[in-house]
Amino acid sequence: MKMRSHCPINFSLEHFGDKWTLLIIRDLMFKDKRHYNEFFESNENVSTSVLGDRLKQLEESGIIKKEADSVKKSRIKYSLTPKGIALLPLMIEMIVWGGTFDTDTEANQDFLDQANNHRELLVSSTREQLEKDHLPS
């Protein structure tokens, strides 16, 4: 990967500084989506070519991983890695900022209140659940 600089913000942007990558992470993290077609059916209408490309890049950078679904072996299941789960605090801040400044937000008010008033608890309980669902046991 060609890096413009080793500024940590730039490093983050090189990994997910585009309009689509974090929507896939959102689906994995907060919407229990684990399959290609579920990402494809999201509200924001990603195209198959962009979706395929982003999934590939996320896997290459170790943020997600693919595995055969335990039920149907032809089906591919996507999981967050520890590096992907580490994006949780950032994602929460994205929700807080967007939920605060979009007058028509769909953000859950309880979630916003929790994020504002009991952030540590929200982060740790969500992280625990993600580790159960995504990391090998």
Partner DNA sequence: TTATTTAACTTGCATATTCGAAGTTAATAT
Partner DNA sequence: ATATTAACTTCGAATATGCAAGTTAAATAA
Give 68 or 135: the residue with its C-beta nearer to DNA.
68
Amino acid at 8: P
In the stretch 58-77, what mask flags binding to DNA with x, by CB under 7 A? --------x--x--xxxxxx
Selection from DNA, a copy of itself, none that 56 binds (CB < 5 to 8 A by kind) is DNA
Establish if 46 lies at the interface with DNA (CB under 7 A).
yes
Residues 6+ apart with CB under 8 A from 78: 28, 34, 35, 36, 55, 64, 65, 66
Of 11, 14, 30, 38, which lies in the binding site for DNA, with binding defined by CB under 7 A? 38
Shortest reach from residue 35's CB to DNA, in Å = 4
Q: Which two tokens stand for residue 20?
A: 């689509």
| Interface segment toward DNA; rule CB under 7 A; list 6-14, 45-53, 102-110, 128-136 | 45-53
Selection from a copy of itself, DNA, none that 36 binds (CB < 5 to 8 A by kind) is DNA
Judge whether 46 and 40 are in contact, CB under 8 Å.
Answer: yes
Helix axes 109-117, 88-101, angle to 10 degrees: 120
Strand spans (E) along the chain: 64-68, 76-80
**DSSP classification of residue 80:** E
Residues that bind DNA (CB under 7 A): 18-20, 35-38, 45-50, 52-53, 55-56, 66, 69, 72-77
